[in-house]
Amino acid sequence: MEALVSIVIQVISGVVGGGVVGSMFKNAAMSMLPKLLAGGVGGLGGAAALAGPIASMLGGDASGLGLASIVGNVGGGLVGGGALTGIAGAVMGAMKK
């Protein structure tokens, strides 16, 4: 159950990060659905890569539902979702030209 909660946190954080990046770069040539999908997938990947280092910087571990774990999942999800949305927007914008 703890793993499912972590995945939900990562996806929601990624969607938020993707939405922020998508709204910052309106010329990304993407509608809302691709932005949200790219954000969700990027949130999973970013949190998988960054949750451990972020949680260890806070003195915790990336497993469970402790504060360090939640902050790591949210931070990694935001970064990963924003990054993948930005990359997808650049690629889709280049394909339209």
What tens digit of pLDDT does each residue of 40-54 get?
Answer: 999 999 999 998 898
pTM, full prediction: 0.88
Listed in sequence order, the DSSP H helices in 1-97 are 2-24, 32-57, 67-96
- Rounded to whole angstroms, the Cα distance separating 39 from 86 reads 9
**What single letter denotes the amino acid at residue 56?**
S
Q: How many CB atoms lie within 10 A of CB 85?
A: 32
Average pLDDT along the chain: 88
**What single letter denotes the amino acid at residue 13?**
S
End-to-end CA distance of the chain: 46
More confident residue, 23 or 17: 17
